[in-house]
Amino acid sequence: MKRLSLLTLFTAMLLALWLLLNDTLEPGHWLLGAALTIAITLGTAAMRPLRARPHHLLVAVRLLGVVLVDITRSNIAVAGVILGPARRRAHSGFMKIPIDLRDPYGLAALACIITATPGTVWAGLSPDGGNLTIHVLDLQDEEAWIRTIKHRYERPLMEIFE
């Protein structure tokens, strides 16, 4: 029953979006939009992943605080790199980080955290899922970055999702 209500909500949201994008409330658009949204909802049902089952919500709240502080610090550091002397800009690069996180939702959250933090970008995950590639704007110490990712982000995400 809960799945049916979610599908109905998704269909209603798609229909509302259809009507907004077409800027009309004509009956023909209601019918066409309803037919399309029902077809899209049923056609994509098999592609939806399993629901996330987060544990330890207090850890998630603490992780959110850590991420917000890190984003603030990174904004200041990136401003220093951009506005500072040109010699500081020569230290950007890619690096690989071994990770143990396997949950797809945890990996997605880690990708969002890394990409949302100024000066870092998630560049890829190895096919076996054991190595993460990131680009760092101010890459001074690779070991420090590995410790940061593993201890500040990966460990709490593993507590939350695994």
Burial of 123 by CB count in 10 Å (0-12 exposed, 13-18 middle, 19+ buried)? middle
Which pair of structure tokens corresponds to residue 80? 């220093």
Sheet holding 131-136, edge to edge: 93-98, 131-136, 120-125
- Confidence band, pLDDT 50/70/90 cuts, at residue 90: low
Which pair of structure tokens corresponds to residue 15? 């229909």
Is residue 100 over pLDDT 70? yes
**137 touches 81 (CB < 8 A):** yes
pLDDT for residue 4: 53
pLDDT for residue 5: 55
Average confidence (pLDDT) over 131-159: 91
Average pLDDT over the chain, rounded to whole?
86
pLDDT for residue 141: 86
pLDDT per position as a tens digit, 24-76 = 889 998 999 999 988 888 887 777 777 777 788 899 999 999 999 999 999 99
Is residue 12 over pLDDT 80? yes
- pTM score, whole prediction: 0.70
